[in-house]
Amino acid sequence: MAATLILKPSPSFSAHPPPHLLHASSPFRLSTLFFRPTTTIFSPPFHHHNHTSSSSVTVFSTIATGPDRITRFESPESESDLISTFNDKILKQEFTKRNSGRYKQDSGDGVTDEEVEKYIQLVKQQQQRGLRELKRGRLRTAGGSGNENAGFSYKVDPFSLEEGDYVVHKKVGIGRFMSIRPSIPEGSTTPIDYVYIQYADGVAKLPVKQASKFLYRYNLPNESGAPRGLGRLKDTSVWEKRKIKGKVAIQRMVVDLMEVYLNRLRLRRPPYPKNPAMAEFASQFPFEPTPDQKQAFIDVEKDLTERETPMDRLICGDVGFGKTEVAQRALFCVVSSGKQAMVLAPTIVLAKQHFGVISERFSKYPNIRVGLMSRFQTRLEREEYYNLIQEGELDIIIGTHSLLGSRVTYDKLGLLIVDEEQRFGVKQKEMIASLKTSVDVLTLSATPIPRTLYLALTGFRDCSLITTPPPQRVPIKTHLSEYSEEKVISAINYELDRGGQVFYVLPRIQGLEEVISFLEKTFPDLEIALAHGQLYSKRLEKTMARFVDGEIKILVSTNIVESGLDIQNANTIIIQDFQQFGLAQLYQLRGRVGRSNKEAHAHLFYPNKLLLSPAAQKRLEALEECGDLGQGLQLAERDMTIRGFGNIFGVQQTGDIGNVGIDLFFEMLFESLSTVDVHRTRPVPYKSVKLELDLNPRLSSEYINNLDNPIEIINGAEKAAEKDTSSLVEYTVDLRRQYGKEPYAMEVLLKKLYVKRMAADIGITRIYVSGKTVVMMTNMSQQVFKMIRDAMLSDIHRNMLVFEGDEIKAELLIDLPKDQLLTWIFQLLSELHSALPALIRY
């Protein structure tokens, strides 16, 4: 439906009355350039003479615009330079991709359209297999019929709900479950069960049969958390917006991941040789690998030695399950072939732990040099490391995000290993992402990912799961009881008597000092320390390092206890007021102990059983039933799904989940995964784009005389545009560097080239004007159009666009002179082009 809006005049329209009224309703197409290439010259024939810049003289130029003829004596200084703005954006993107060109890499010509199509079909096949398995699992869990062709859904059984639970009705929004009561429907004599749900403006009464088709849980089972507000029965517009926002976020995540895959497919590096020494290195592993470990070894070796596409694999498994050995075999394969490797950890404590393990493992190979970089080193020590890395004298470099700094220049970086990537900050993640485009990458995560999620996401990210505990690991004994000082002292003494260390965890900072005081009085000769998120990072790191080294015997902390640490001597954890933790938090905390072959103990204390909420009592019962290794994963699978999903996509999506609730969010996610093939927009050949705008600029003789070889320069510009956007940007930058800012007629010519290039990238084949409507013919789907439009920054352009059939349309309320119309189209396409990096182009 057409919408009228008021636009502020753009500086680009300064020479004519501004088009302040625009209107949205119709589509586009493109024409040919006035200057046609007569040669195949691409590189600009610039000889770098000192020509007078056009900005310092008055430029006389004439532009033919159909029957009208506009003479402009100089390009208005107030007019914004749209080309420079666009160039800056593209150059910034290229800079990020190359990461300043610091990392050397072997690359080829990229993949063909046929290879990309083959990949997409493979993704779809893997998706279908994963989703079928997922459906089977859901049906088995729910006691269903086992029909794997049934629609996939996370809908909830109303009879499993309890009073006060937040639920989501797909059409109305978030409400609070009240009860299920029988009632006799009008015109019947037989009572049926009805579900009663409280909303902001009333109570909904739904037959149970109907409710089971539309209701979802808002929270995880045994978790609490109020939504931002309840839905309204009489006005569902806010809910619809939240649902759309969640769906757009999901679609963008899916296509972002596909784009990463496709970008990596375009890279090439020679496969690493299968060095006979690799078998010898593997034989030195002192334990019998678990089946999951063996498969991970095979996966990584194939990635490195049989594929030309750089590896990007996630190894997922709890601490002590053998991820580090997988990483070390990858290190040996790469480093023994003459490349360097970087091991990146989120904290110096984890980095030091990796350094100790890796140094010991490689101690039999004196030619492989391992180094640790830390902010605790002196400036001279760091400078020495910078030089060693740059000269290739260090083979394996271990450290925190300081390894990503501009001072660190690698001679021949081949492998990046990232531990617990989700714990890095936003800036560090961006730097890691830029590195990932140029080297083999292995990511380690101690956050469990359920096999159901793994199967559903197969094809989007290479992932190896290690869920089998080593045979020497002993199940953790879980003790639940009412709190008493005597029980705490007894538990601590038991661990100290066998030479171990103790974690003591509380839900809040407020109670830590009181516990410290109690422990110091009870154990005056012991080293006891405090750890929580409000401590300075250096102090926190030093405390954790001393605990790892065994200097601190009791660590009193919040749940900040690091998930990645492997402290084999800490085999008792005390969790006070456990009822204030979520089920998944308790699973993670309990997993901090039991890393060795010693029997570990987790003591969970509550204040008074009679004071526990029903949800806390259920949590207690569930934990009592799940003491064996691996059962905790099943117990907390739903919560782990959220965390695991964040791991795979590199971000936590709790905000998007909060918009619609957990169950509906995941149903929408898997719907998006099932229809991934519609999230495509194929670029078209530059020469096939038609810009039907009767605007033929004529360059002044003065400007032509100022050029070294006018014909070659014009032909070179068209040739650059035909190649790709980066080439056109580079060509224009060189042109301006040599001759200064071009006169207006040349700017119009360049804008036409840019418009055609951007249109080709987006999949637009023709741009034309029909009355006051600009029409763009496109091959993109409506889903892709909506995603691009929603990603546009300008409300003005976004609100003007409509999609009809295979056309994108924008209606103007007034006629614009053709040069201004070209500028407007340039601005619009630039916005559409900017929205594309979040999508797939192939």
CATH number, domain with residue 175:
2.40.10.170
Q: Which residues contact 363 (CB under 8 A, 6 or more apart)?
A: none
Over residues 706-751, the pLDDT tens digits come to: 888 888 988 999 999 999 898 999 999 999 998 888 898 999 999 9
**pLDDT for residue 454:** 58
Question: In this structure, which amino acid lies at residue 697?
Answer: P
The Cα 687–Cα 756 span in angstroms is 9
Query: Is 778:770 a contact under the CB 8 Å cutoff?
Result: no
Query: Does residue 638 lie within any of the structural domains?
Result: no
Q: Is the pTM of this model over 0.75?
A: no
Q: Count of CB atoms within 10 A of residue 556's CB? A: 25
SS (H, E, C) 21-73: EEEECCCECCCCCCCCCCCCCCCCCCCCCCCCCHHHCCCCEEEEECCEEEEEC
The Cα 787–Cα 189 span in angstroms is 51
Stretch among 557-566, 677-686, 723-732 having the lowest mean pLDDT: 557-566
Query: Is 731:720 a contact under the CB 8 Å cutoff?
Result: yes
What is the average per-residue pLDDT within 263-267?
A: 68
User: Where is pLDDT greater, at 577 or 226?
Assistant: 577
Res 34 pLDDT > 50: no
CATH number, domain with residue 43:
3.90.1150.50
Query: Is 230:222 a contact under the CB 8 Å cutoff?
Result: no
User: Where is pLDDT greater, at 67 or 219?
Assistant: 219
Query: Does residue 215 lie within any of the structural domains?
Result: yes
Residue 681 DSSP one-character state: B
Res 421 pLDDT > 80: no
Kindly state the percentage of the chain with pLDDT values over 90: 26
- Angle (nearest 5°) at CA 523 between 519 and 529: 55
Taking all residues of the chain, what is their mean pLDDT, rounded to a whole number? 75
**pLDDT for residue 445:** 80
The Cα 258–Cα 264 span in angstroms is 10
569 and 430 housed in the same domain? no
Over residues 353-390, the pLDDT tens digits come to: 899 999 999 999 999 999 998 877 888 888 888 899 98
* Most confidently predicted of 180-189, 251-260, 531-540: 180-189
SS (H, E, C) 509-577: HHHHHHHHHHHHHHCCCCCEEEECCCCCHHHHHHHHHHHHCCCCCEEEECCCCCCCCCCCCEEEEEEEC
3-state SS class at 104:
coil
**pLDDT for residue 124:** 64
Among 512, 557, 567, residue whose Cα is nearest residue 531: 557
267 and 187 housed in the same domain? no
3-state SS class at 614:
helix
Longest Cα–Cα distance in the chain: 99
285 and 412 housed in the same domain? yes
Instruction: Give Cα separations from 691 to 544, 683, 775, 826 (angstroms).
Output: 64, 16, 11, 12
218 and 265 housed in the same domain? no
What is the average per-residue pLDDT within 308-318?
A: 84
Instruction: Give Cα separations from 370 to 260, 280, 332, 351, 375 (angstroms).
Output: 31, 19, 12, 12, 17
What is the average per-residue pLDDT within 227-231?
A: 81
Res 842 pLDDT > 80: no
Query: Does residue 555 lie within any of the structural domains?
Result: yes
User: Where is pLDDT greater, at 763 or 632?
Assistant: 763
Query: Is 813:3 a contact under the CB 8 Å cutoff?
Result: no
745 and 832 housed in the same domain? yes
Helix (H) or strand (E) run with residue 312 in it: strand 312-317
Q: What is the DSSP string of 404-471?
A: GSTT---SSEEEEEEESGGGS-HHHHHHHHHHHTTSEEEEEE-S---HHHHHHHTTTSEEEEE-SPPT
3-state helix, strand, coil in the chain (%, to 5): 45, 20, 35
Phi/psi at 502 (nearest 5 deg)?
A: -130, 135
Query: Does residue 102 lie within any of the structural domains?
Result: no
What is the average per-residue pLDDT within 73-86?
A: 58
Res 136 pLDDT > 70: no
The Cα 397–Cα 395 span in angstroms is 7
pLDDT-derived band at 296, boundaries 50, 70, 90 = very high
Of the CA atoms within 13 Å of residue 314, those in its CB half-sphere come to: 26
User: Where is pLDDT greater, at 28 or 468?
Assistant: 468
- Angle (nearest 5°) at CA 169 between 164 and 175: 30
Query: Is 72:63 a contact under the CB 8 Å cutoff?
Result: yes
Number of domains in the chain: 4
- What own/partner pairs with CB < 8 Å and gap ≥ 24 does 539-542 have? 541/347, 541/348, 541/349
715 and 826 housed in the same domain? yes
Res 342 pLDDT > 80: yes
271 and 200 housed in the same domain? no
Query: Does residue 649 lie within any of the structural domains?
Result: no
Phi/psi at 107 (nearest 5 deg)?
A: -135, 160
446 and 519 housed in the same domain? no
**pLDDT for residue 409:** 83
Query: Is 424:433 a contact under the CB 8 Å cutoff?
Result: no
CATH number, domain with residue 307:
3.40.50.300
**pLDDT for residue 30:** 24
Query: Does residue 481 lie within any of the structural domains?
Result: yes
Q: Which tokens sit at 65? A: 């615009």
- Distance between the two ends of the chain, CA-based, in angstroms? 31
Considering just the CA atoms, what is the radius of gyration of the chain in Å? 32
Domain boundary among 180, 206, 228: 228
Query: Does residue 314 lie within any of the structural domains?
Result: yes
**pLDDT for residue 826:** 92
Q: What is the DSSP string of 715-771?
A: HHHHHHHHH-HHHHHHHHHHHHHHH-SPPHHHHHHHHHHHHHHHHHHHTEEEEEEET
The Cα 538–Cα 482 span in angstroms is 36
Over residues 775-826, the pLDDT tens digits come to: 999 988 887 887 777 777 777 777 788 898 889 998 887 788 888 899 999 9
198 and 82 housed in the same domain? no
Question: In this structure, which amino acid lies at residue 355?
Answer: F
**pLDDT for residue 469:** 80
Residue 31 CA, chain-centre distance (Å), reads 38
**Which residue range is the domain that position 345 belongs to?**
259-466
Phi/psi at 8 (nearest 5 deg)?
A: -75, 145
Question: In this structure, which amino acid lies at residue 232?
Answer: R
Stretch among 130-139, 417-426, 526-535 having the lowest mean pLDDT: 130-139
Over residues 570-607, the pLDDT tens digits come to: 999 999 998 787 665 777 688 788 877 788 999 999 88
Query: Does residue 640 lie within any of the structural domains?
Result: no
Query: Is 445:647 a contact under the CB 8 Å cutoff?
Result: yes
Q: Which tokens sit at 46? A: 């610039």
What is the average per-residue pLDDT within 318-341?
A: 91
The Cα 441–Cα 693 span in angstroms is 48
Tell me the Ramachandran region of residue 193: left when phi exceeds 0, alpha when psi lies from -120 to 50, beta otherwise.
Answer: beta
**pLDDT for residue 408:** 84
pLDDT-derived band at 11, boundaries 50, 70, 90 = very low
162 and 284 housed in the same domain? no
SS (H, E, C) 160-226: HCCCCCEEEECCCEEEEEEEEEEECCCCCCCCEEEEEEEECCEEEEEEHHHHHHHEEECCCCCCCCC
Interhelix angle 637-649/662-674, rounded to 10 degrees, is 50
Question: In this structure, which amino acid lies at residue 556?
Answer: V
The Cα 544–Cα 562 span in angstroms is 9
Among 67, 465, 114, residue whose Cα is nearest residue 299: 465
Instruction: Give Cα separations from 720 to 343, 362, 686, 711, 757 (angstroms).
Output: 40, 50, 10, 14, 10
* Most confidently predicted of 75-84, 153-162, 650-659: 153-162
536 and 621 housed in the same domain? yes
219 and 314 housed in the same domain? no
Domain boundary among 610, 628, 646: 628
Q: Which residues contact 573 (CB under 8 A, 6 or more apart)?
A: 502, 503, 504, 505, 589, 590, 592, 593, 600, 601, 602, 603
- Angle (nearest 5°) at CA 177 between 175 and 181: 135
Give buried/exposed letters for 26-45 (b at 16+ CB in 10 A, else e): bbbbbbebebebeeebbebe
pLDDT-derived band at 265, boundaries 50, 70, 90 = low
